[in-house]
Amino acid sequence: MAKGVKTMFVEETISKYEKYINPAQAKLFRFMGLASVEGHAEGWTITDSEGREFIDCLGGYGMFALGHRHPKVVEAVEKALHTMPMCGKVLFNRPMADLAEALAEITPGDLQYSFFVNSGTETVEGCLKVARLATKRKKFVAANNAFHGKTMGSLTATGRDLYREPFKPLLDGFTHVPFGNIAAMESAVDEETAAVILEPIQGEGGIIIPPAGYLRQVKELCEAKGALFIADEVQTGIGRTGAWFGVNHEDVKPDLMACAKALGGGVMPIGAIIGTPRAWQGLIEAPFLHTSTFGGNQLACAAGVAAISVIKEENLLERGAEIGAYLKAGLESIAAEFPSVISEVRGRGMMIGIELTKEGAGGMLMSLMIDKSIIVAYTLNNPKVIRMEPPLIMPKEVVDYVLEQFRDAVATTASVIEDL
Stretch 269-279: mean pLDDT: 98
Phi/psi-derived region of residue 183, left when phi > 0, alpha when psi is between -120 and 50, beta in every other case: alpha
Characterize the bridge pairing of strands 377-379 and 342-348.
unpaired
- Return d(Cα 146, Cα 381) in angstroms, integer: 8
For residue range 348-407, list pLDDT tens digits in order. 999 999 999 998 899 999 999 999 999 999 998 999 999 999 999 999 999 999 999 999
User: What torsion do the CA atoms of 250, 254, 258, 263 make, to the nearest 10 degrees?
Assistant: 60
**DSSP of 227-272:** -EEEEE-TTTTTTTTSSSSGGGGGT---SEEEE-GGGGTTTS--EE
pLDDT value at residue 6: 65
Give 1's pLDDT tier (boundaries 50, 70, 90): low
Do 67 and 307 touch, CB atoms closer than 8 A?
A: no
How do 193-198 and 271-275 pair as beta strands? unpaired
Confidence of residue 7 (pLDDT cuts 50, 70, 90): confident
- At 150 the three-state DSSP class reads coil
Asked if omega into 169 is within 30° of 0 (cis), the reply is yes
Is the pLDDT reported for residue 3 higher than 80? no
pLDDT digits (tens, 9 = 90+) for 48-67: 999 999 999 999 999 999 99
- What mean pLDDT value characterizes the chain? 96
Q: What is the pLDDT of residues 289-327, one digit of tens each?
A: 999 999 999 999 999 999 999 999 999 999 999 999 999
* Residue 34: band (very low, low, confident or very high) from pLDDT cuts 50, 70, 90: confident
The reported pLDDT for the residue numbered 382 is 92
H or E segment at 38? strand 38-42
Strand pairing category for 174-177 and 228-232: unpaired
For the cut 80, the answer to whether the pLDDT of residue 347 exceeds it is: yes
Confidence bin at 96 (pLDDT 50/70/90): very high
Answer positive or negative: Cα dihedral of 224, 225, 230, 231: negative
Give the separation between CA 248 and CA 237, rounded to whole angstroms. 10
CA separation for the pair 121, 153 (Å, rounded): 9
The beta-strand segments (E) located in 131-259 are 139-143, 174-177, 193-198, 228-232, 256-259
Distance CA 248, CA 246 (A): 5
How far is CA 81 from its chain centroid? Answer: 26
What's the whole-number mean pLDDT along residues 258-275? 98
Tell me the per-residue pLDDT of 180-207, one tens digit each, with 9 for 90 and over: 999 999 999 999 999 999 999 999 999 9
Q: Has residue 5 got a pLDDT over 70? A: no
Spell out the domains of the chain, with CATH numbers in brackets: 36-69+315-419 (3.90.1150.10), 71-313 (3.40.640.10)
